[in-house]
Amino acid sequence: MVWRETVVMDERLRFVVECLAGDETMTQLCAAFEISRKTGYKWLRRYRELGAEGLDDLPRAPLNHGRATAQDLVERIVAMKQTHPLWGPKKVMARLMRSEPACAWPAVSTAGEILKRHGLVGRRRARWHAAGNGPWPEPAGPNAVWTGDHKGWFRTGDGRRCEPLTVMDASSRYLLALAATGSTADEEAWPVFEQLFEEHGLPDRIRSDNGSPFASAGVTGLTPLAVRFIKLGIGLERIQPGKPQQNGRHERFHLTMLPLAKAPQADAEAQARVFEAFRRSYNEERPHEALAMDTPAQHYRPSTRPMPRTTPEPDYPAEAALRRVRQNGEIKWNGDFIYISKSLAGETVAVLEDDDGAWTLCFYAHRLGCIDSRHKKLVRSSATQSQSHRTAAAVS
């Protein structure tokens, strides 16, 4: 039986006092207090050895657990977490195991309990999962597809606007750029990409949303930045409006870097230094679950397509009708003026007749749309909307 529901210490003390008085036998007292003789002798022995303090409950945990993690390993796990506060137990342990594989490191679950005891693990929030890879096939390897986007803006300590431009290799998850640009303008984005092309070579395709600086609302959807990509032989992949999951890996990365936006630096220069330190850590130190806990740097390699010294000229078919785009974005066709895009001002486009008799307008290998002769305008077609697939195949 258990002790009666009174103050437990009082009950135990009263039992010991009556036992020491000797008026009743141990059997009688234990029956009166509804405890076993073994329990009665235990508390009597405790009282004789330790006094009243011996009647307190002792800790139930063993003093020396046979499977307890060595203190030096605990300290190293805690130190790694403090160095990388955004990492969870999986990444902490993957990094430690990679640095010292012969060490008898504890399991990830044990590391999680260690970090929890030290107050370094908070409540786990619901995890955002990338929902597939959109309508495109998986990239065959590094530089098959780069993804680009602007993370939501914030202000640095001096009040200036910061619109982080992020560029990533879709296959290796290598973070190519994390730039502290001040806007989404083409003139700020191009120097970032130009430097990347010089350093890493050209990708086959670039995937983005339909916003600035990657795309516009016009029929062609072209911006000056997109025109530069096309002229370098880079295919354009644009996700469907309202479907960020088609660029899910990139969106997931933005959640990883979210704490940086919540802790802005004093000015743009300081922000750029923090961004670069984060980029190097993300590529060279942080284990990635999709890469079997390898780092992106272990899987990335430069492109075999170097940045050309001069922009290649378009190689249009001999049967194509060539037109130069005027400064107002129009071309002259069959005596009429057809608006194309101001982003193509000064460029030469080609008009080709399809098998069905439609006139298709192309810029380099990129299909712009079809000429609607009746309404004298350029229109999109289903073939134009799936251009990224054919361009990707042609480039590959």
Q: Which residue has the higher pLDDT, 307 or 243?
A: 307
Number of H helices, E strands in the chain: 13, 13
Q: Which residue has the higher pLDDT, 121 or 165?
A: 165
The pLDDT of 351-377, averaged and rounded, is 90
Q: Which residue has the tokens 């016009």?
A: 218
Distance (Å) of CA 235 to CA 13, 188, 391: 85, 21, 6
Average pLDDT, the chain: 85
pLDDT at 104 over 60: yes
Q: Which residue has the higher pLDDT, 177 or 24?
A: 177
Tell me what pLDDT residue 91 has: 81
Tell me the three state secondary structure of residue 208: strand
Report the candidate in 236, 225, 223, 250 with the shortest Cα–Cα distance to residue 385: 236
Share of the chain above pLDDT 70, in %: 88
CB within 8 Å of 247: residues ≥ 6 apart = 134, 147, 149, 207, 208, 209, 239
Share of the chain above pLDDT 90, in %: 47
Residue 396 pLDDT level (bands cut at 50, 70, 90): very low
pLDDT at 128 over 50: no
pLDDT at 386 over 50: no
- The alpha carbon of 267 is separated from its chain's Cα centroid by a whole number of angstroms, namely 25
Q: Out of 124-133, 211-220, 300-309, 371-380, which region has the weakest mean confidence (pLDDT)?
A: 124-133
Matching CATH number, 145-298, of 3.40.50.1370, 3.30.450.40, 3.10.20.30, 3.30.420.10: 3.30.420.10
Tell me what pLDDT residue 393 has: 40
Residue 395 pLDDT level (bands cut at 50, 70, 90): very low
